[in-house]
Structure 1
Amino acid sequence: MPKLSYQWKLRLYFLILLATLQLLLKSPFNFMALNVFLAYLPIEFGFWVQHFADRRSLAFWSLLFLWLIFYPNAPYVMTDLFHLSWLHPHTSTTGILRADPKMWLIFALMVLSAFSCAIFGTVEMARLSRLLEKMLTPKFSHSHLIWVGCFSFLSGIGIYIGRFLRLHSIYLFITPSWFF
């Protein structure tokens, strides 16, 4: 049996995670499957950006643009952890955490999802930053750190827009008139 590449292992991991979320998380937590899917997209786009790593390639720039539009979704999923308060984890009389298996399953799935998206999204951002350093700024050592800073700043703006203005990157394609 051939050995799976890092990309295929990650694809399989997220496929299993998405299926598990879809199967086990019900309202009001059923939004997690969509958010994890949106957070996975920049990881996949990052794989393809590296595949077309030629600064003269239209595919490279198009995929990099898509990656940039969807990247804030990866760390955004961390903000979904605020919804854990809907579980009411403490007993009203003693304030001790409840021993409810369903509550702990939801907690585990949400934490696993949030950390998976944030960690693997950040890894892909670091890989793209190194690629951009090599392609666009090879004479400036450590310029990948500038790329990381720029992407992190833009991601922070994207998270703010998504969490507080309630505009999500998917709306750019579903209802672009909301943005323009």
Structure 2
Amino acid sequence: MRELNYPKVFILLALLSGATLGVYRMVSLQTDSFFAFLLWNLFLAWVPFLFSMSAYELDKRRILGLLLLPLGVAWLLFFPNAPYIMTDLVHLTVRKGKYIVDGEIVSRYWYDLVTLLLFTWSAWLTGFFSLYQFQTVIYRRTSLLLSWVFVLAACLLGGYGVLLGRVYRLNSWDVLTDRQQLIQLVLDSLNRQSVFFSLFVAFVLLVIYATLYCLLNVLGKGEQRVTGGRRF
């Protein structure tokens, strides 16, 4: 795996998020602030990156140790927030009455569409870079094969997390604050439609992440490889 310069990655993602907020501000001044909730959703997409960056840097300094498990669990709980923001595109359908006037699509539709797509791109890229960081940590400690098993598990969790968030309105922190509700929602979600939805989203996540991985490792130049092997 290619070793990335994560301070530069952090700056890139921060600039992308800043540009996203700037676009939102311009659009909201022209229309309204209905999509203000996207600011919170983008923040939640940053949370797993902060966890993965902590694990990555601690592991790089060989002081991660027992912190790997709690950081990994925290990352897994918050990772679905990154792909979840894609589902906010549903509001374009909910608000269609504001976009079609006398049979014509008004310009605010395109403003809102671009804003939502930019928030989605920012959240997804931040989430996928956090996944790459954790895959690197797993690869350092085990092997490339096991690191991809972790990626597959993360994508499956991401797909299921999107389902729980959008359809069942569950938050990441509800795992700690309302376990009874969590168990009930899990039981309610064990049906064919929910399983298909979760697997569908997981497949999409895996395809996009694999594309990013190939861009970084197969098509990239001047590669600096991570040293694999067990480290405890």
Structure-2-length-normalised TM-score: 0.62
Unmatched tracts of structure 2, length 5 or more: 1-6, 184-232
Partner of 1:169: 172
Relative to structure 1, the CA distance from residue 106 to residue 170 in structure 2 (aligned partners, 3 Å threshold; closer, same or farther) is: farther
Q: Quote how far apart the aligned CAs of 1:82 are.
A: 1.4
Question: Larger relative CO (CA 8 A, sep 6+): 1 or 2?
Answer: 2
Task: Give the alignment partner of residue 115 of structure 1, picking from 121, 127, 144.
Answer: 121
Q: Residues 11-33 of structure 1, C-alpha deviation per residue, up to 9 Å, x if partnerless?
A: 34335534764785445322211
Q: For the structure 1 residues 33 and 167, does the alpha-carbon distance in structure 2 shift closer, same or farther, using more than 3 Å as the test? A: same
**1:75 maps to which residue?**
83
Unaligned runs of 5+ in 1: none
1:146 and 2:153 correspond: no
* Inter-CA distance 57–21: structure 2 relative to 1 (3 Å threshold): farther
1:31-80 deviation per Cα after TM superposition (whole angstroms, max 9, x unaligned): 21111111111122211110111586243332222111100011111111
Question: What residue identity is the alignment partner of 1:83?
Answer: H
**1:41 is the counterpart of 2:47:** yes
Aligned 8 A contact 2:20 2:122 in 1: no
Report the residue type matching 1:33 in the other structure: L
Q: Is residue 2:35 matched to residue 1:14?
A: no
- Hey, what does 1:133 align to over in structure 2? 139
How far residue 87 of structure 1 moved from its aligned partner, in angstroms, is 3.8
Structure with the higher fraction of residues in helix conformation: 2
Q: Partners of 2:10 and 2:147 in 1: how far apart?
A: 22
Are the aligned partners of 1:55 and 1:61 in contact in 2 as well (CA < 8 Å)? no
Instruction: Name the % identity.
Output: 25
CA distance in 1, matches of 2:174, 2:21: 21
* Aligned counterparts of 1:56 and 1:167: Cα–Cα separation in 2: 30
Which one of 58, 69, 79 corresponds to residue 61 of structure 1? 69
> Is the 1:38–1:70 contact (alpha carbons within 8 Å) kept by the matching residues of 2?
yes
SS at match of 1:167: coil
CA contact (8 A) 1:42 1:121 kept: yes
User: For residues 66 and 27 of structure 2, what CA distance do their matches in structure 1 show?
Assistant: 40
RMSD between aligned alpha carbons?
A: 2.7
Could you tell me how far 1:119 is from its partner in structure 2?
A: 2.5
